[in-house]
């Protein structure tokens, strides 16, 4: 998920988000990566996901997972047959 040309501040931010999420939940960073991969995999069955931009965060106050899953393109192009609600 990392790219050699990426700015180091973004690399640091992504590493920290993953690390802190796993530490707040007291599970391993590997588990978090696996969870993220599973979520991407699940959504990918239906829509083309921009995998490198997927982000899963844990909100401590409300005990909530927040997943941001950007798609490759607008849903109407990528998944014909599924009517989108706006």
Adjacent-strand bridge partners of 50: none
Q: Which of residues 24-83 bind other proteins (CB under 8 A)?
A: 24, 59-60
Q: Tell me the site size for other proteins, rule CB under 8 A.
A: 15
Applying CB under 8 A, the span of 7-15, 29-37, 44-52, 74-82 interacting with other proteins comes to 7-15
Closest approach, Cβ 11 to other proteins, in A, equals 9
Picking from 75, 27, 24, the residue whose alpha carbon sits closest to that of residue 47 is 75
Residue selected from 1, 16, 31, 34 as contacting other proteins according to rule CB under 8 A: 16
Coil, strand or helix at 31: helix
């Amino acid at each position: 998920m990392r790219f050699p040309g990426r700015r180091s501040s973004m690399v640091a931010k992504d590493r920290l988000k993953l690390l802190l999420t796993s530490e707040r939940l007291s599970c391993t960073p590997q588990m978090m990566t696996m969870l993220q991969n599973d979520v991407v995999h699940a959504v990918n069955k239906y829509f083309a996901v921009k995998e490198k931009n997927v982000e899963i965060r844990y909100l401590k106050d409300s005990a909530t997972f927040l997943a941001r899953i950007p798609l490759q393109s607008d849903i109407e192009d990528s998944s014909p047959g599924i009517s989108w609600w706006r």
